[in-house]
Structures are given as C-alpha cells and as structure tokens.
Amino acid sequence: MAKILLIEDDPALGRMVKDWLTFEHHLVELSADGGEGWDRLQVYEYDLLIIDWDLPEKSGLEICREFRAQGGTTPILMLTGKRSISDKESGFDAGADDYLTKPFHTKELSARVRALIRRSERFLGNILKHKNLVLDPVARTVKRDGKDVDLLPKEFSLLEFLMRHPNQVFSAEALLSRVWSTDSDAGVDAITTCIKRLRKKIDVQGNPSVIRTVHGVGYRLD
C-alpha cells in the first residue's frame, strides 16, 4: 500500500483515478485545486504525488518546482493533456518523474504508479519478511510460520507499513498520518485497537510481541 496525493480539478477524472487506485489497495487523498494540494504537502507525507498540470490557484508545474526546491523527494507523476516535447521538457525540468497524457487507460496508470513506487527504497522488493512473518503486498497475504493469517484491511496496511520500516519508532499520530486518510475521524484509540488485534493474530504465545511499545514514544517492529 502506498499513500498517494492526487491533485486533480476534474471531478469525474479525480473520482475515477481515486476509485481505481483505491481498488488496487492504495490510500488516495484527492485535492480539487493546487492551493489545497500544496497545503496538504506542507503538513503530510506521501509515497507518491499525482498532479494535474492545469490547476486553479496553483499550477501543477508550480507545485512540482516549489516542492523540489524545498527538498521534496517524493516521486511525482504529472497528468496533462499537453503533448508537445517542449511541454514534457518543462514538466521534467520542474521535477516530475513521469508524464501521462490524457486520455489514458487505467492499466497504464497502474503500471506507471507501480514503477514510480518501486523506486523508493522502502518499496524495494515485493515480498516482505520479518522473523517468522512473510507479507505479500500484491497477493495481499500474510503468513506466520508458513500458515495463513487473516487480517482486516487496516491491520494489513499497518503491518505492511511497519515491516517496511523495521526498527523505526513511530508515534500513534505518525502511524495515523501514514496509514489512515488525513480526512479520517480516527484517533489514537484506532491505532491502539488495531495494534492489539494485530498482536493477537501475529504473535506467538509465550514470546515477546513482534510490535514493541516504546513507552512515551510509540511503536516499532522489533
């Protein structure tokens, strides 16, 4: 699962892209104009940005250029109806990593999203392994000691995130911002409940929990 910010002012296209990528198990947040999208980028972290070129308030080109100037390294896929070589050069020079012209097929969108996500170090390799756990993000399966573990969608997403960041401590608030939508009403209690359920499913009785509580700080996959 990747957390994706989609900035698209066409309501129909925005909804279609969001629904499609959500179906593919990504967490997608949609902003309808460049100003709102830019504001989100100043507060939240994302694994991928999908940005329309022509946006009200702040263009996709401006967002790319200013985000890179701030040191932002998140992969960027630019969506646009512009097809000329000079336009594409402008997009790449502004900081876009890939360029998809409208109209496009959702399968091509998926392929480009997968390619950009794979470039990130934390997304290298499809199969995640940690001690006796094996998680397959594509097949959406988790095995403990070779046996299937049935997880709810948020349990799966939380475990995947922790397995991609082993030995790193995350506060409950940080986990909320990376695994839950920023528009969600979920609070810290949601993290506590989800981790409690996860531990019951993935821990081996009599052994320390795979998910360690760092008191006063947060949680980490130990």
Q: Return the pLDDT at 183.
A: 73
b/e map 122-157, b = 16+ CB within 10 Å: ebeeeebebeebbbebeeeebebeeeebebeebbbb
Of 28-32, 107-111, 187-191, which range is least confident? 187-191
Q: Return the pLDDT at 39.
A: 94
Q: Return the pLDDT at 203.
A: 92
The first and second tokens of residue 208, run together, are: 């320390």
Q: Return the pLDDT at 4.
A: 94
Per-residue model confidence as pLDDT tens digits over 10-62: 999 999 999 999 999 899 999 999 999 999 999 888 999 999 998 999 999 99
Residue 82 has pLDDT above 90, yes or no: no
More confident site: 84 or 212: 212
| pTM listed for this prediction | 0.71
Q: Are strands 218-221 and 211-214 parallel, antiparallel or unpaired?
A: antiparallel
- Segment 122-150 shows an average pLDDT of 85
Residue 1 has pLDDT above 90, yes or no: no
Which bin fits 118, alpha (ψ -120 to 50), beta or left (φ > 0)? alpha
Half-sphere exposure of 144 (CA within 13 A, CB side): 13
CA angle (138 as vertex; 136, 140 as ends), nearest 5 = 60
Cis peptide before 137 (omega within 30 of 0): no
Please name every residue paired with 78 in a beta bridge, in sequence order, or none if there are none. 51, 99
